[in-house]
Amino acid sequence: MVRWNTAQRCAAMVCAAGAALVGAGCSPGGDAASPTSRSETRTVVTDASKLGQVTITEWDKNTFAGPNQAMKEINARFEQKYPNIKVKRLARAFEDLKTTLKLALSSGTPPDVVQVNQGYGDLVAFTKAALVRPLDPWAEAYGWERRYPATLLAQNRVGDDGTWGTGKLYGVSSTAELVGVYYNKSVLAKAGLQPPTSYPELVEQLAKLKASGVQPIEFGASTKSPTIHLFGTILTSLAGPKLVNDLVFGRDGASWKDPKAVQALTTLGDWAKQGYINKDANGKTEAQAGADFQKGKAAFYVSGSWWGGTFKSSDDVGFVALAPSSGAAPAALGGLGLLWAVTSKSPHPDAAAAYIDYLNGPEAADIIAKSGDLPANQGGAFKSPADSLQGELGSNIAKVLDAGTMAPYLDYATPDFYDVITAQLQQVIAGRTSASQAADALQKEVDSFKSTK
């Protein structure tokens, strides 16, 4: 379980995610953020048992084994606590959710509760279109703003001018996330290798594994989002989290044509050419690649903590967030999981908010932790064994947060950056575009977005 056991950890997490750019202070305690802008004045009912017979529909992206089982148990427990509320669930993979959510929210009968990706592509776009509801009245009634530091909640805020990271609160997140390297202990042992702890050590091992006839990395790029995780790991290691933050938030002087960014793109292409990445990566899904890794078909799998519940059944799988250099603190992509939002057309906002509150309470935190995932709420009682995969995930995210070396997901940069960067990375992997051409395309997208602000 993630333990936000110091205010500095929370501040480090969101400072690394760029909250300082939009004026949310990153001083310990999180009390330097700008005051919340209230969206409406209304009487909020927090006793869900008094809402009558209600059915709410929720959409989530928790299709992996651990998160899927956690959602089933959370929904069952919620219905036991509030027998008058029935939860109707629809789970879609992340890619499918991104593709279908805007259309569903625009329909006459949208779901009540949905998971929304932070950043300009989804959260800001949905708020501009008034498809999701500001939750400040419920946040105040339930104490969400007291439960989490203000800096931590900044990722889930949008201002009236469309600025991400400040203003009204549109939801809270029930999980934390960290991207790193899963490794197969048996495969490495047979090759006479110890699990790597730094990026240079990983690169050295990739060459040794390939030379010995072992597939170094199993990778599924057809799902799109994994390209961000693999490339982001390379970029964070070569360029450092500060440059990644500057790139994602379009800060003055930052450019995707930076030599370090081009070097990272070059490295991704080289790994594909050298066979460090499986040759069928662009035709393989994330799920297929993860399953093949778990079967021992490769030494490494670069992805996020959401795979913890799937891999926890295997004693052969471990996890590490890489240090950029030997002896340095680890640095990695990560942050909050997708936020839970209430749709604007939901006829049951009080029931929806009660459901979100339960999702972010101590009971749900324990369920999430036991499933192998990382809960954002520190109030649960469950503690994973230190030598378990879940324990490794928790200790690694704590190291990254303590060091202040967490970098944001790259797709937050512009409304269309997700589509642009994943397409470019697929082309780099296929050898159909050069690193410099990809860098030009990424910077062109950022410049285009800035020109419209």
What's the confidence (pLDDT) of residue 148? 72
Residue 237, token pair as written in the block: 């290691």
What's the confidence (pLDDT) of residue 149? 63
What's the confidence (pLDDT) of residue 152? 67
What's the confidence (pLDDT) of residue 151? 64
Judged on CB neighbours under 10 Å (0-12, 13-18, 19+), 8 is: middle
Over pLDDT 90: what percentage of the chain?
79
Least confident interval from 14-18, 91-95, 229-233, 264-268: 14-18
Q: What is the mean pLDDT of the chain?
A: 89
| CA 1 to centroid of chain Cα atoms | 16
Amino acid of residue 106: S
What's the confidence (pLDDT) of residue 154? 85
Report strand pairing: 113-116 vs 157-158. unpaired
Q: How many DSSP H helices and E strands does the chain contain?
A: 19, 12
Beta carbons of 110 and 83 less than 8 angstroms apart: no
Beta carbons of 323 and 236 less than 8 angstroms apart: no
Amino acid of residue 440: D
Coil, strand or helix at 120 = helix
Pairwise CA distance, residues 239 & 112, whole Å? 41
* pLDDT confidence tier of residue 114, bands split at 50, 70 and 90: very high
Phi/psi region, residue 213 (left: phi>0; alpha: psi -120 to 50; beta: rest), is left
* Residues 384-438: tens digit of each pLDDT: 788 899 999 999 999 998 999 999 999 999 999 999 999 999 999 999 999 999 9
Residue 214, token pair as written in the block: 């072992």
Phi, psi of 336 (to 5 degrees): -90, 150
Name the more confident of 315 and 56.
56
Phi, psi of 299 (to 5 degrees): -85, -35
| pLDDT of 135 above 80 | yes
Pairwise CA distance, residues 256 & 321, whole Å? 24
Residues, the chain = 453
Which DSSP symbol is given to 35? P
* pLDDT confidence tier of residue 230, bands split at 50, 70 and 90: very high
Over pLDDT 70: what percentage of the chain?
89
Closest-CA residue to 426 (of 277, 302, 321, 216): 277
| pLDDT of 38 above 60 | no
H or E element in which residue 388 lies? none
* Residues 192-226: tens digit of each pLDDT: 999 999 999 999 999 999 999 999 999 999 999 99
Pairwise CA distance, residues 185 & 163, whole Å? 45
Phi, psi of 318 (to 5 degrees): -125, 175
What's the confidence (pLDDT) of residue 233? 98
What's the confidence (pLDDT) of residue 44? 92
| pLDDT of 31 above 50 | no
* Residues 327-375: tens digit of each pLDDT: 999 999 998 899 999 999 999 999 999 999 999 999 999 999 999 999 9
| pLDDT of 63 above 80 | yes
| pLDDT of 25 above 90 | no
- Please name each of the domains of the chain with its CATH number: 7-27+43-175+337-382 (3.40.190.10), 180-328+413-452 (3.40.190.10)
Mean pLDDT for 286-302 is: 97
